[in-house]
Amino acid sequence: MLYEVKQEAKFKFIEEGEGEPLLLLHGLFGALSNFEGILNYFKHHNKVVVPILPLFDLDLLHSTVGGLEKYVHKFIEHRGYTDIHLLGNSLGGHVALHHVLKHPERIKSIILTGSSGLFENGMGDTYPKRGDYEYIRKKTELTFYDPKTATKELVDEVYGIVNERLKIIKIISLAKSAIRNNLGDELNQIKQPTLLIWGNNDAITPPFVGHEFQKLIPNSELYFIDKCGHAPMMEVPDEFNRILHLFLQKLNEPAAVTK
């Protein structure tokens, strides 16, 4: 992806376009490339912002959902964004929810896709195996409906992470924190319009999780995409962007005047 990564203070991020900020939070094994389809499309309509989350830079005590939320909050304050459309995939969705529950004032809407926060299957029933490339390839493929979406570059990236001892310790810490940090009892406090985009074939946060989010978040709407797994914005970017664009347009329509 050929976008400039900017650095200010301790923050690294991409920022493209003008308009209301569309702020994208990636997941545990996520990368900036996960959002290429969103960036290419929405930079013509919004200010698209992708902070690089410090998954491996926080100390072990703060390698948690709460630790990442504090980083996002400081980043938003540092940049002075307002009227934010906050979008998160997987762990990024969990961080987005945690943030809006603590600091709702700058957030205009929430978009969740394959979000943790209620239930998720991790890499499987075991911790990621170091040194076993084939195992990592198969687990990475499970993220998608079409295994071919797990390119060699993507598998290599995950393989590189799980073969660094300190990184895998932090991955495990973040994954355990996500499991402990269940938000089911708090989601009814969310006032922002919320869009849920789910893959019908998501094996990590299965479709029932999307239904549960819709039930618990008051002002939410849920869309399923067929033949799609845990990362709809990567696997079916055109359909994902269509649903998201309609949602954002509807938010900015003038309210109907009642007589």
Q: What angle do CA 221, 240, 73 make, to 5 degrees?
A: 70
The lowest-confidence range among 19-33, 36-50, 76-90, 106-120 is 19-33
Q: What angle do CA 247, 114, 206 make, to 5 degrees?
A: 120
Q: In terms of pLDDT, which residue wins out, 206 or 31?
A: 206
| pLDDT above 70: percentage of residues in the chain | 93
- Give the tens place of pLDDT for each residue, 140-195: 888 999 999 988 988 888 888 888 888 888 888 888 888 888 999 999 999 999 99
Q: Quote the pLDDT of residue 130.
A: 60
Task: Identify the band that residue 67 occupies on the pLDDT scale cut at 50, 70 and 90.
Answer: very high
What is the mean pLDDT of the segment spanning 21-27? 96
In the predicted structure, residue 30 carries a pLDDT above the cut 80? no
What is the mean pLDDT of the segment spanning 92-112? 97
Under 8 Å between Cβ of 14 and 5: yes
Domain 6-251 has CATH 3.40.50.150: no
Task: Identify the band that residue 256 occupies on the pLDDT scale cut at 50, 70 and 90.
Answer: very low
Mean of all residue pLDDT scores within the chain: 90
Task: Identify the band that residue 1 occupies on the pLDDT scale cut at 50, 70 and 90.
Answer: low
In the predicted structure, residue 16 carries a pLDDT above the cut 80? yes
Q: Quote the pLDDT of residue 257.
A: 44
Task: Identify the band that residue 131 occupies on the pLDDT scale cut at 50, 70 and 90.
Answer: low
Q: Quote the pLDDT of residue 122.
A: 58
In the predicted structure, residue 125 carries a pLDDT above the cut 70? no
Q: Quote the pLDDT of residue 126.
A: 46
What is the mean pLDDT of the segment spanning 49-67? 90
Q: Quote the pLDDT of residue 123.
A: 43
